[in-house]
């Protein structure tokens, strides 16, 4: 997807503070952090949202979750962390390339807003 913001980050056409990556997923700091740790983990392949994912993306989504857990461990978020995957504009998704927010380093209330 040539005009997708996160695809441009994958292709290093725009800068990002990358923390970690594996063959299929990339983790970088959110530009507008909502917590002391706020990292986005994305599949390198363009998938617009969880609604667009197919059974063939199941392993890819597993790679994203596993990288998110590695990031949380590296960030030493010892009191716990939260993964958020906004799906659809009604849930606050603004970038239509699947991304998991890794949030931690402060108390996180429940339920989320």
For ligand DGP, the binding residues (CB under 6 A) are 5, 16, 28-32, 40, 86, 92-95
> What's the closest the beta carbon of residue 14 comes to ligand DGP, in angstroms?
6
**Choice among 38, 97, 99, 101 that is catalytic:** 99
Three-state secondary-structure class, residue 103: strand
| 97: annotated active-site residue | no
Instruction: Tell me how far CA of residue 63 lies from CA of 11, 23, 24, 72, 112, in angstroms.
Output: 19, 9, 7, 14, 25
Residue 24 C-beta: closest distance to ligand DGP, Å:
19
Any idea of the CA torsion for 34, 94, 68, 30, to the nearest 10 degrees?
Answer: -40
In terms of CB distance, is 95 or 108 closer to ligand DGP? 95
Output 32 or 56, the one with its CB closest to ligand DGP.
32
| Active site amino acids | 99
């Amino acid at each position: 997807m040539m005009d997708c913001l996160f695809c441009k980050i994958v292709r290093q056409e725009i800068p990002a503070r990358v923390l970690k990556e594996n063959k299929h997923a990339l983790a970088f700091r959110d530009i507008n952090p909502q917590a002391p740790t706020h990292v986005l983990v994305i599949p390198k392949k363009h998938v617009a949202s969880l609604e667009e994912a197919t059974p063939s993306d199941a392993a890819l989504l597993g790679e994203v979750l596993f990288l998110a857990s590695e990031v949380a461990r590296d960030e030493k978020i010892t009191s716990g962390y939260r993964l958020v995957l906004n799906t659809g504009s009604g849930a606050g998704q603004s970038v239509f390339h699947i991304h998991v927010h890794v949030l931690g380093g402060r108390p996180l209330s429940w339920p989320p807003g």
